[in-house]
Amino acid sequence: MLDPSLISRIADQLESVGKGGPAADLAIHRALDRRGNPAAYTTDQAAAKALIPPGHEASVLTFSGRNLGSCWRSARPTETGRAATQELALCAAIMRAWAVRLRM
């Protein structure tokens, strides 16, 4: 069973690290109960976008030197992430969207 509190904590941790890597990818993979080997979620935007919850959209941009990730669905507030890289920001936003979805 997916744990929204764990998923939220992972989102917070993703915002505090300097770069992504296998340990973060594995934590995400396990928290979302994915099968097989973890993808490079925290270093590859295409892999990160494979985590988007059903019915959601996501994007990432860099503005004034800040990497900002967003994940949303129609008529719902946007979940965001701010991190050292675009991939980490995107993952943080997506993980927050999962946590909100699970609490509904």
Domain ranges of the chain: 4-103
Token pair recorded at residue 48:
């990160």
Contacts of 61 (CB under 8 A, 6+ apart): 67, 68, 86
pLDDT at 8 > cutoff 90: yes
Model confidence over 42-90: pLDDT tens digits? 999 999 999 999 999 999 999 999 999 999 998 888 999 999 999 999 9
Q: What is the pTM of this model?
A: 0.96
22-31 vs 4-16: helix crossing angle, rounded to 10: 160
**pLDDT, tens digit (0-9, with 9 covering 90-100), for 13-51:** 999 999 999 999 999 999 999 999 999 999 999 999 999
A 10 A CB-CB count for 14 gives 30
Report the 10 Å Cβ neighbour count for 22: 12
